[in-house]
Amino acid sequence: MHVCIIGAGGLGLVVGACLAESGVDVSLVARPRHVEAVRSRGLVVTGIRGDRTVRDRLVAVADPSEIEGSVDVLVLATKTRDTDAALLAAHSLRHRTANALSLQNSVTKDEKLAAWIGDDRVVGASTTEAGTVTGDGEVRHVATAPTSTYVGDLSPSPTVSTRVQEIAAMLSAAGIATRTTTQITAVEWEKLLQIALVAGFSASTLGFRPGAAFAHGIATRPGAEHYVTMANELLAVYRALGHQVHDWFAPYSRFAEIEAASFADAVEAVMTQGATMIADGILGRPSLHEDLVHGRPTELDESLGVFLEAADRLCVPVPTVRGAWRVIRANGG
State the CATH class of domain 2-182. Answer: alpha beta
Superfamily of domain 187-330: N-(1-d-carboxylethyl)-l-norvaline Dehydrogenase; domain 2 (1.10.1040.10)
Q: Which residues contact 5 (CB under 8 A, 6 or more apart)?
A: 12, 15, 16, 26, 27, 28, 29, 75, 77
What is the pLDDT averaged over residues 82-107? 96
Single out the residue of 290, 300, 302 nearest to residue 133, CA to CA: 290
What is the pLDDT averaged over residues 44-57? 95
Indicate the range of 177-186, 229-238, 291-300 predicted with least confidence: 291-300
pLDDT band at 304 (very low <50, low <70, confident <90, very high): very high
Every domain of the chain and the residues it spans: 2-182, 187-330
The string of pLDDT tens digits covering residues 58-82 is 999 999 999 999 999 999 999 998 9
pLDDT band at 250 (very low <50, low <70, confident <90, very high): confident
Indicate the range of 75-79, 83-87, 181-185, 283-287 predicted with least confidence: 283-287
The distance of Cα 212 from the centroid of its chain, to the nearest Å, equals 20
The string of pLDDT tens digits covering residues 174-186 is 999 999 999 999 9
Does the pLDDT of residue 252 top 80, yes or no? no
Task: Report pTM.
Answer: 0.86
**The total number of residues written for the chain in this structure:** 333
Cα(289)–Cα(208) distance, rounded to whole angstroms? 9
Does the pLDDT of residue 30 top 90, yes or no? yes
- What does the buried/exposed string (b/e) look like for 8-41 if buried means 16 or more CB atoms within 10 Å of the residue's CB? bbbbbbbbbbbbbbbebbbbbbbeeebbebbeee
